[in-house]
Structure 1
């Protein structure tokens, strides 16, 4: 019974998912119109982002469980409850802050996996890779209407919100896959490094996420990175204009591009 409870989906996560679905319905139906629609886009995208963060951490924990670390169940990581994370601030609040302030999907801290319980370098790498792969899968789901050509009847505001949500997932997958200490990409390659190399890199792990964020503030780096992101989205059928309009609508406290506002129904 205890095992079943430790793996039961948390009411907290179900509440977040329900609120996200309600906001999505409001965007689809253009409930409220005007600024009300923009606020609904904000709530929908933020909710979807938090849901993806929970799934990201769940993927780490679930993979770790199957690779030998059974402690993740007792810690509540399999319940999808963001309040059970070792670093809830890093795992949820900080990524949401990056989203609101910068409009990018920057990953946060991971669940605590007891690595000594896991045997084999491939298993260690797989545990780290599970998170970014989840973001990539989330992006595929969000873009399915685009690459399937199933956009007939989809309101523009909802289409733009989906496009921006997909952009966040692609950025999260790409950034978290970087072999930078503190990010999952480094966790993938770390088991294959020498003990000496790991000891040298270890002091920099707490600053890896911050370093990536600072680099993205540089216009040249930012331009190259988002050029690559737009290329991935383009291959999935999402245009740069659609994801840009989604970002504009999301940041409702700033002036929205008139064309995006008109198409989505925020004005007029």
Structure 2
């Protein structure tokens, strides 16, 4: 369908998103140039702002796909403006993801768009709407890793390299977690249209607790180790070494004593 069914104001980029993008740009520049007296703080702000930008793009991908699949109500809900405050409660969209980034270096799936599924016909369309968000994270991760697998590291300041490496890790963890076929996550949304009516009804009560279940399982040491082995394996395949991501996480937590190996004088 065409986007003509939505008003121009429904598609205008929100000043909130522009402001977050500006914070990411300014702190990214400070991280790149090394002019900040506190590089860890610059890394924290750059990664956090960039993460929120990726969250907006994740939810925008859901909303845009839903719009083109037949849900004409998406625009009026503000989902096409890239405003993170329109997607869900700020606590779930911003505060909790940042807390999980600090606690365990994990990209928590946040935000939500409410799609009027009754307007959409066809199981493939329903699956595509759910898959669009995680694919946005995958594309963001690829963008972060381009300098690494193109061999452009010599031209990239080390502090900025560490920050981007950690940001790539967050995108990959978010994509993997989102694609798990667990009720309440996008991966389940991909397969749900292909399940029987009875199976969907039986799984529906578990949707509010799916994410909590996943993170409870991740606290099991053997599962956590296997999960991060997979994440680091993917990062290594894209040219990002474990040391860069570790230093990025170390600098991100600027209030702690940094590993001397990660402290860079630029």
Q: TM-score range by the shorter chain?
A: over 0.9
**Is residue 211 from structure 1 mapped to residue 180 from structure 2 by the alignment?**
no
Asked if the contact 1:42–1:250 (Cα under 8 Å) also holds between the matched residues in 2, the reply is yes
* 2:7 match: secondary structure: helix
The CA deviation at 1:181 is 0.5
Give the distance between the partners of 1:88 and 1:112, measured in 2 at CA: 15
Alignment of 1:50-69 (within 5 A): 50-69=52-71
The CA deviation at 1:215 is 1.3
- 2:50 maps to what in 1? 48
CA gap 1:124/1:88 in 2 versus in 1, 3 angstroms: farther
- 2:86 maps to what in 1? 84
The CA deviation at 1:151 is 1.6
**Is residue 166 from structure 1 mapped to residue 168 from structure 2 by the alignment?**
yes
The TM-score, its normalising length taken from structure 2, stands at 0.95
Decide which of 247, 254, 259 is 2:261's aligned counterpart: 259
The CA deviation at 1:84 is 1.3
Greater alpha carbon shift after TM alignment, 99-108 vs 208-217: 99-108
* 1:132 match: secondary structure: helix
Asked if the contact 1:58–1:80 (Cα under 8 Å) also holds between the matched residues in 2, the reply is yes
Give the distance between the partners of 1:227 and 1:26, measured in 2 at CA: 32
The CA deviation at 1:253 is 1.6
Decide which of 91, 96, 99 is 1:97's aligned counterpart: 99
Root-mean-square deviation (CA, aligned residues, Å) is 1.4
Decide which of 14, 24, 32 is 1:28's aligned counterpart: 32
Q: How many residues align?
A: 262
Give the distance between the partners of 1:177 and 1:219, measured in 2 at CA: 21
Give the distance between the partners of 2:208 and 2:171, measured in 1 at CA: 23
The CA deviation at 1:204 is 0.6
Give the distance between the partners of 2:139 and 2:90, measured in 1 at CA: 23
Q: After the TM superposition, list the runs of 4 or more consecutive aligned residues in structure 1 that deviate by more than 6 angstroms.
A: none
Asked if the contact 2:55–2:111 (Cα under 8 Å) also holds between the matched residues in 1, the reply is no
Q: Deviations over 1:43-82 (max 9, x none)?
A: 0000000000000000000000000001110111000001
Give the distance between the partners of 1:177 and 1:30, measured in 2 at CA: 37
- 1:10 maps to what in 2? 14
* 2:142 match: secondary structure: helix
* 1:152 match: secondary structure: helix
* 2:227 match: secondary structure: helix
CA gap 1:32/1:91 in 2 versus in 1, 3 angstroms: closer
The CA deviation at 1:189 is 0.3
The TM-score, its normalising length taken from structure 1, stands at 0.94
Unpaired runs of at least 5, structure 2: none
Asked if the contact 1:26–1:40 (Cα under 8 Å) also holds between the matched residues in 2, the reply is yes
Give the distance between the partners of 1:112 and 1:92, measured in 2 at CA: 18
